[in-house]
Copies of this chain bind each other. A is one copy, B any other.
Amino acid sequence: MSLAYGLLGILTYSPMTGYHLGKIFDKSINVAWTASLSQVYRELNRLEKQKYVTYEIVKQEEKPDRKIYTITNEGKKTFETWLFEMPEDVMSPKRDEFMLRIFFGSTLGPEKVIEHLKIYIKEKQAYIDGIHGKKVLIEKMRKVVKTMAIETPVQKVYWQLIIQNGVMMCQSQIEWATSAIETLEKMEVI
């Protein structure tokens, strides 16, 4: 259900197309919630049936028509009701293919596990660099902000908080993997 609320939440900032909502889920909000374009379109249809959003068709010459979605008052109410709730379960179900492979580490063997852990560290670092180094963070946010009618510095604080969260989690994963390598190397000596 959360995708619906995510879409409604973004539409409270400004009306926009499904395509644009998809881009936002792909490029900025993805540290909190991921969704594909086809999923976004399907969900928008549902929201329209429930009268949480309406759309107007904007015709364009020699380009596909655009459907500009706008949140209704009912939609806003629904969104805010959800927003003020605290989720009953703070632990979201984990599905981490990498960790599953580590679970079977005794079959893989320590050398291979260490090899995998080293790649893991590199990829996590690359993700952090993609936010820090390349300033994707700021650009991501700029692009989102541009599309929004109301741009307040307060919003940015919260966006930075969740991006920071993403970065911190990656860093901890790197720390964990580093100490895991040490543990396994000690084990090999004995």
Secondary structure at the A interface, as helix, strand, loop or mixed, is: helix
**B contact residues around A6 at 8 Å (CB):** 100, 103
CB distance from A162 to the nearest CB of B (A): 5
One of A44-52, A64-72, A78-86 contacting the partner: A78-86
Chain A 18-61: CB-based contact to B (< 8 A → 1; otherwise 0): 00000000000111111000000000000000000000000000
A9: shortest Cβ distance to chain B, in Å?
5
User: Contact: B80 with A30, CB < 8 Å?
Assistant: no
Q: Are A164 and B176 in contact (CB under 8 A)?
A: yes
In the assembled complex, the Cα of A97 lies from the Cα of B87 at a distance in Å of: 7
Given contacts A32-B100, A102-B161, 16 further A-B contacts (CB under 8 A): A9-B100, A32-B99, A33-B95, A33-B96, A34-B93, A84-B112, A86-B116, A87-B101, A99-B162, A104-B158, A105-B157, A106-B157, A106-B158, A113-B158, A157-B184, A165-B176
- Residues on A lying within 8 angstroms of B by beta carbon are 2, 5-6, 9, 12, 29-34, 80, 83-84, 86-87, 90-108, 112-113, 116, 119-120, 123-124, 127, 152, 154-155, 157-159, 161-162, 164-166, 168-169, 171-173, 175-176, 180, 183-184, 187
